[in-house]
Structure 1
Amino acid sequence: MVLLESILTGTTIAIGSGTLLYYYQKELLYPAKYRKKSRDFTVPKFFDEEIPCTEVILTTKDKVRIRAYLCKRKNDEEACERPTVLALHGNRGNIGKQSSITRNFYHNFKCNIMLLSYRGYGSSDGIPSEEGIKIDAQTALDYIKQHPILHDTKVILYGSSLGGAVAIDLAAKNEDEIDALIIENTFLSIPKLLPTLFYPLKYITFICTQIWPSDEQIKKIKKIPILFLSGKLDALVSQQHMKELYELSNTLAGKEWKEFPYGNHGNTITQPCYWNVIEEFLLWAIFDKNSKRGMNCQ
């Protein structure tokens, strides 16, 4: 009797969860509409004070106006010689929260950096979806490759959480346009992520319309070096997802794995030596090894 009650309870929960998942999966995965912090975007003051930054309004092929901020090296001659980073944020924030990313890539690594705001996030128009965000990322990359100063610069994709899935997809489709890929705490796919969040969802993942199949896309990347940054204590996206992505990757350009023992889903970027690991990766993947001094690990 107890077993029957447990089965009925589990079935009821699964059905109820499935109904919510089917009708509201976009709202659950891309909560910008309901999270004030994701929608409200304020340009950090240091952009104007420390880093030259220009707002860019892009129109996608499906006629959605999205925003990005381009932080280009002050001198055009330097800008055209340094790499350009396309930063792709997670599902719960926006580019106004990426001050650490901007400062490190701009000041310490002397890169240009473009911060993309997906449709429905920050000041961008539209409603988020897998198809739409992929279009947004492609639009941003196309802008860089057509830019009068940056068009021939080496391009680095940096993505965390959902941004990692966006970066993997973009790299898989544009290998000839991208020179390095950095991903942090991202997942194999949405259907494979859901059961780790709530086990009964294992039986209804077939109703997912938002897939983000990074486990399939990463296998298509053959000639781009990849850095995997993983927080061991990540309770939202199990570290096993990152480990499997690393194993599935068969790029011929080299790959590196770095685990942060005390990193969770949100604080991995603040862990000791996080930026040193990225620098070491860039030194062999992008920069001339003799052109830049290393940073002290603290």
Structure 2
Amino acid sequence: MSTAQKLLRRAQYLPLLLAGLYGVVLLLATVPWVQRELTYLHWISYPFSVKYDTPHAYGLAPFKTRNFGIPTADNETLGAWHVLPNSYYLKQTPFPPQSDLSAEEFDKAFGDRPTVIYFHGNAATRASPHRVRTYAALSSVLNLNVVAIDYRGFADSTGKPSEEGLKTDARAAYDWVAGRIKAAGNKVPQNQIIIMGHSLGTGVASALTGLLADDRIVPKALVLITPFSSIPDLLSSFYLFGVIPLLSPLGRFPRIQNFFKSLISVRFDSVEALSRTAAPTLLVHTKADKVVPYSHSEALWQSLLAPNGTEYAIPKPFVLDYTGWGKLYISNPRYRQIIWWEGEFGGHDEIGWAEGTMDLIADIAKLNVPLNPDGLSYISL
């Protein structure tokens, strides 16, 4: 038998081998510990050997950011950064500052401008380059305070990640910020808080707005960058590391696929959480996203127009088509503004800090930041 014949004979077993490997992946995916490790990827700590007390080493302006810890209700401590709004930072003397500003000086800034609480995606830390670029844009372009946390088990935060744990972390961050805003003189702190999430962080941000709604708290705005409708739905179209399909091969067998989806313990059901809040909401997604398909934003958009399927007279969305950039869908169901940008270009980690995204955040949060020579947003015209 020739070498070629031997290779062909062995090749006939390749489909069986691949099917067997996929079966192993499916079985592992049903194990809660494996689900947690693959969902959060918190063990991927990047950049390496981060010095969290020197944020300016990662691209932020010198002494514009403080490093601190936020205690949670279950006795964990979250590593966090607070980036000053640009107008407040520029007031410092000397400028730029030559040493750390006091905690009191940072606390005063909460009374100066609104605050974004930023929830990042899975893996890495708050010092990751694309996250730092987002903080810088929010601070400089929109002139906002930015508070960014690392969830429990990430970076220098204590504990181990879990769905309930991350929800507790989000509420701890909100309560910490709300307390500082109130101490700075604003009696209704939620009117000065924008909640923003990216990727996995959109599930955390959505869950937080749902929890706040249960306490009759409505933040100034909710911003979801590359969101998903729920973790089980995401796994139906997700490729681990961009290569390994999880539940998508079972699409031809809905009952089997739904069975495996039912075994996913980490859920982050954003559709359900968002049905409880009245916060103005911005969805930002691109067709070029290789991590979270933009169809998830479409599903969230539809659910926001008709939460729980109870809306009988859905207002017709206003659509603006920008050739080469994307489409804006705008609606005001129940007097709550919802904007969805369906972009043509932009990677999963790049659109959070894009100029167009900053403009959209300014509009949904009604920030007094001029976007054109007339001082008006093009969306509001």
TM-score higher than 0.5: yes
Q: 1:106 to 1:161 in 2, by over 3 A?
A: same
- Alpha-carbon distance in structure 2 between the residues aligned to 1:247 and 1:39: 41
Q: How many residues align?
A: 284
Is residue 320 of structure 2 the alignment partner of residue 237 of structure 1? no
> CA–CA distance in 1 between the matches of 2:266 and 2:348?
21
Counterpart residue type for residue 280 of structure 1: D
Partner SS for 1:37: coil
Q: Give the corresponding residue for 1:20.
A: 28
Identity in percent: 23
In structure 1, distance between residues paired with 2:47 and 2:231:
20
Distance, in Å, in 2 between the alignment partners of 1:275 and 1:80 is 22
Matching of residue 254 in structure 1 with residue 340 in structure 2: no
Of Structure 1 and Structure 2, the greater helix share is in 1
The 2-side partners of 1:216 and 1:177 are apart by: 16
Does residue 128 of structure 1 match 2:176? no
User: Aligned letter for 1:196?
Assistant: S
Q: CA offset at residue 7 of structure 1?
A: 10
User: Where in structure 2 are the equivalents of 1:279-290 lying within 5 Å?
Assistant: 279-282=362-365, 286-287=366-367
Paired with 1:55 and 1:295, the residues of 2 have a C-alpha distance of 35
Is the 8 Å Cα contact of residues 68 and 115 (structure 1) preserved in structure 2?
yes
Task: Tell me the residue number matched to 1:275.
Answer: 358
What residue is the counterpart of 1:183 in the other structure?
Answer: 224
Letter in 1 for 2:293: S
Structure-2-length-normalised TM-score: 0.67
Change in Cα spacing, 1:38 to 1:122, as seen in structure 2 (3 Å) is farther
Provide the aligned C-alpha RMSD in A.
Answer: 2.7
Pair 1:31-2:41 in alignment: yes
Quote the offset at 1:11 in angstroms.
Answer: 6.9
The answer to whether structure 1 residue 119 and structure 2 residue 196 are counterparts is: no
* Structure 2 Cα separation of the partners of residues 37 and 104 of structure 1: 21
TM-aligned CA distance change 1:208 to 1:40, over 3 Å: farther
By how many angstroms is 1:15 displaced?
3.8
Structure-2 separation of matches of 1:7 and 1:174: 50
Aligned partner of residue 294 in structure 1, secondary structure: coil
The code of the aligned residue for 2:345 comes to Y
User: Could you tell which deviates more after superposition, 265-274 or 243-252?
Assistant: 265-274
Q: Give the equivalent residue in structure 2 for 1:66.
A: 78
The letter of the residue matching 2:111 is C
Does 1:292 pair with 2:375?
no
- Residue 79 of structure 1 is matched in structure 2 by 110
For residue 342 of structure 2, give the secondary structure of its aligned residue in structure 1. strand
Deviates more, 1:37-46 or 1:109-118: 37-46
* Structure 1 unaligned spans of 5+: none
- Name which of 156, 160, 171 aligns with 1:138: 171
- Residues 138, 358 of structure 2: 8 Å contact kept: no
Instruction: Give 2:233's match in structure 1, choosing from 188, 192, 197.
Output: 192
Q: Which runs of 4+ in 1 moved over 6 A?
A: 5-11
| Aligned: 1:228 with 2:283 | yes
Decide whether aligned partners of structure 1 residues 150 and 118 sit closer, same or farther in structure 2, where only a CA change above 3 A counts.
farther
Distance 2:260 2:357 in 1: 37
Q: Distance in 1 between matches of 2:349 and 2:109?
A: 33
Question: Deviation at 1:270?
Answer: 5.5
* 1:155–1:177 Cα contact (<8 Å) kept: no
2:184 to 149, 157, 174: 149
* Contact kept in structure 1, 2:232 and 2:264, CA below 8 Å: yes
Q: For 1:77 and 1:58, how far apart are their aligned partners in 2?
A: 18
- Of 156-165 and 256-265, deviating more is 256-265
Which of the numbers 170, 173, 182 marks the counterpart of 2:211?
173
* Cα displacement string for residues 35-58 of structure 1 (whole angstroms, at most 9, x for unaligned residues): 131775342435451x63222212
Tell me the alpha carbon deviations over residues 214-233 of structure 1, each in whole angstroms, 9 at most, x when there is no partner. 12111112x21001101111
Q: CA deviation at 1:93?
A: 2.9
Q: Over alpha carbons, which structure has the higher Rg? A: 2
CA shift, 1:103, in A, is: 1.5
Contact residue 226 and residue 292 of structure 2 kept, 8 A = yes
Shift of 1:271: 4.9
Aligned with 2:237: secondary structure? helix
Deviation (angstroms), 1:10: 8.3
Distance in 1 between the 2:222 and 2:363 partners? 14
Instruction: Note if contact 2:45-2:124 (Cα within 8 Å) is conserved in structure 1.
Output: no
Q: 1:211 to 1:10 in 2, by over 3 A?
A: farther
Residue 119 of structure 2 is matched in structure 1 by 88
**Counterparts of 1:140 and 1:272 in 2: how far apart (Å)?**
26
